[in-house]
Structure 1
Amino acid sequence: MTKQDAITITGVSTIGEKKLVGFRVLASNIEEFQQDIPKASLELIRRKNEIHNLVEPVKLIGAFKAGETSEEDDGYWSCLEVTDFEQIPEGMVTLTVPEQQYAVLQFKGHASEIYGTYTHLHQWIQENGYTRTPSNWTLEIYSKWSADEDSVELCDPIA
């Protein structure tokens, strides 16, 4: 599969509020994030049975703000969606992402290639007359997550 075959722009979608439980990853550079996010995701999958009120236990959701952010919002959240926050497992955090309009790109491939894929999505946003809102939450919704290949919807917030 070529990189171009692995990328499909699916258009614009409004995604409702998401209540997330999982791990927050803090790092000082992209290389650290690329090492630490998979570790946090594997730990989340290992401990998912500790999380109450799961919506879809196989859909891992990553969340981050691409633009300047407060210390409180800094980092990358590797999470699972819940219907309600209840008995949060030790060491995990909660995050509520409000309803937002997104440009969505479907990606299949290795996680290390995701970062570069955003260029295609940002170009599509600009060409189609939308404006990115990097101060809002970006979502990465994984329908398949493994060490070898991911299937993920990259959801970049737009106005």
Structure 2
Amino acid sequence: MKIITLKDKKLVGFRVVCETLEGYQQEIPLALERLTQQIKDINHVVSSNIIYGIFKVEALPEEDGYWKCIEVESFENIPVGMDHIVMKQGRYAALDYDGTPQRIQLAYESLHQWTRNNNLERNLNEWTIERYEKIENSRIECTIYDPIK
């Protein structure tokens, strides 16, 4: 676990809003599938191999939900139905995760405990970021970035 500063990012992708955790577990893979099918239609992609999942713990209604995104250099000709989000530079507590999608919550719990133990304060109204390098049904490799003040 470490502290890192991330630079501004421009992200394009699909938003998922559900009432229950089970709903998110069903809908997020569908959003990922839609995104991977449409990557070829997105202009100025930074890397088609890196997928982002983002959310805010304390979100305004227009920011509520979870997004599956890809980073772009500019927001030119965004495909219909996709959202665009600008993430401002910020400080994050970061943790690499390699495991099953079902157990990622344990990684979050470890990261939050580490944050408390190091007298850091989470920034709940900024974007939490999951940067995926590998996504399979039974295994994911990602870095979790939890915003801190």
- Structures share fold, TM-score greater than 0.5: yes
- Identical residues among aligned pairs (%): 37
> How far apart are 1:29 and its partner, in Å?
1.6
> How far apart are 1:92 and its partner, in Å?
0.9
> How far apart are 1:105 and its partner, in Å?
0.7
Alpha-carbon separation, structure 1, partners of 2:54 and 2:92: 13
Matches within 5 A, 1:1-159: 9=1, 11-67=2-58, 69-159=59-149
- TM-score (ref. length: structure 2): 0.96
Alpha-carbon separation, structure 2, partners of 1:75 and 1:34: 12
Alpha-carbon separation, structure 2, partners of 1:30 and 1:39: 15
SS of the aligned residue for 2:62 comes to: coil
> How far apart are 1:57 and its partner, in Å?
0.6
- TM-score (ref. length: structure 1): 0.90
SS of the aligned residue for 2:61 comes to: coil
Note if contact 1:34-1:112 (Cα within 8 Å) is conserved in structure 2: no
Q: CA RMSD in A?
A: 0.9
The one-letter code sitting in structure 1 at the alignment partner of 2:7 is: G
Note if contact 1:65-1:136 (Cα within 8 Å) is conserved in structure 2: yes
Gaps of 5+ in 2: none
> How far apart are 1:148 and its partner, in Å?
2.2
> How far apart are 1:54 and its partner, in Å?
0.4
